[in-house]
Amino acid sequence: MVSAIVRFTLLSSSILLLAGCLTTGAEDDWLARIEKRLLPLSNSKERDAGVKVDTILIHFCSDVVAHPKRPYKYSRIFEGFASGGVSAHYLIDREGFITQMVELDRAAWHAGVGKVPWHPDRENRLNEFSVGIELMGMGNLPEMTRFMPEDRYRLVKPSDIGYTEAQYKSLRKLISALRRKYPSIKLDNRHIYGHDQYARGRKNDPGSLFDWASIGIEKTW
């Protein structure tokens, strides 16, 4: 993680809570305190007028293909987004630190081609209606061999596979704050789901190692 980024931690929010500063009406303020390192505007767009944000899409990201022994260096991952012309609103590192990469009033380039059965009108258009959250993590061997050969995957430390409890804690807090900002986001699998659900057969993140129950959601489809 680059030293220039002052990272927002759960400890910070705990101190605010104890001080009586974090109240129901201050959730937007909580979001505003998250450290920003914004991607170029060309990596996102203004949301269409009148769009109602009601979905959170969860992803994983890493630099494992090029650096299996050190797959989570922040600067490389951020540059991958910037140069690749893609984006998400938030990035959560292995220690649970959150960085905002796209303003919430903009549609990030994170969902791409896909669909859900209850919104046929949103086919290939989920970016407009969603908040994208990236977790530094990766899937199991079958999920990752579509990106890299098995011998490279075997170089990854077991502790770098899957997700950390610190990430789940931060993700729960972030989801809670986003749901207060956007009341149409319900805590269920029709409003919060994975890229692998939206883009079946094309994407496999966050994958089978992601613990949906840890964020209070039953995976139903």
Domain region containing 103: 10-215
Element (H, E) at 174: helix 165-181
Determine the pLDDT at residue 68. Answer: 98
In a domain, 125, yes or no: yes
Determine the pLDDT at residue 28. Answer: 73
Round to whole Å and give the CA distance between 28 and 179.
10
Query: At 90, which amino acid appears?
Result: Y
Q: Which two tokens stand for residue 124?
A: 């290939």
In a domain, 1, yes or no: no
Among candidate residues 168, 134, 135, 141, the one with its CA nearest the CA of residue 156: 141
User: Looking at residue 95, which CATH number applies to its domain?
Assistant: 3.40.80.10
134 is catalytic: yes
In a domain, 5, yes or no: no
Q: Which two tokens stand for residue 42?
A: 């060309």
In a domain, 131, yes or no: yes
In a domain, 4, yes or no: no
pLDDT tens for each residue of 53-112: 999 999 999 999 999 999 999 999 999 999 999 999 999 999 999 999 999 999 999 999
Active-site annotation holder among 134, 143, 150, 218:
134
Q: How many domains does the chain have?
A: 1
- What letter does residue 161 receive in the DSSP assignment? S
Q: Which two tokens stand for residue 75?
A: 């600067």
Determine the pLDDT at residue 177. Answer: 98
Task: For residue 1, name the pLDDT band (cuts at 50, 70, 90).
Answer: very low
